Amino acid sequence: MPGMRQYFICTLALILAFSIGCGKKGPPRAPHTQPPAPACGLEAEMLEDSRVRLTWNQAGCVAGGKVDGFAVFMAREKLDKEACKNCPMNFQRIATVHVGKFNPWQTQSDKAVHMTPVLEGFRYIFKVTAFGPGGEAQDSERVSVEAIPAAP
């Protein structure tokens, strides 16, 4: 049965070819580049006009690779739900803040700033991720604010 043997060998070769990967998957990065340090010092301030001002250290708090910018992520939950600090959240990317580009809200050269509108009746949770030629950093710490409805 040479036909069955060849069929078996070809099938086995195809299975092996499709199951062997090329290593760790992830975004490409230049050789010998270090990922940026995680953003740190993230703070959120609820403003009177239903906006949140986020600020964080642009340079990071530990050594890391070059930072080109930051991705800003937000999740929200209703205020009547009890807050859970380490629960899984459905974060959405809401903005990209580039280092070295004009930012109308930036008042200090070492602080990155982002402003975002929010709706009353929700708790907003934010995190920031630095990115650069070495890839993406780990997420920053999370901060939250509560958009409490105004009293009638």
SS (H, E, C) 37-77: CCCEEEEEEECCCCEEEEEEECCCCCCCCCCCEEEEEEEEE
Q: Tell me the pTM.
A: 0.74
- State pLDDT tens for residues 19-69: 565 555 566 656 678 889 899 999 999 998 899 999 998 877 788 888 899
CB 136 within 8 A of CB 96: no
The rounded distance, in Å, linking the Cα atoms of 148 and 119 is: 9
Per-residue pLDDT of 10-30, as tens digits, reads 666 666 555 565 555 566 656
The SS3 call for residue 122 is strand
pLDDT per residue as tens digits for the range 97-111: 988 776 666 666 678
CATH of domain 35-147: 2.60.40.10
DSSP state of 77: E
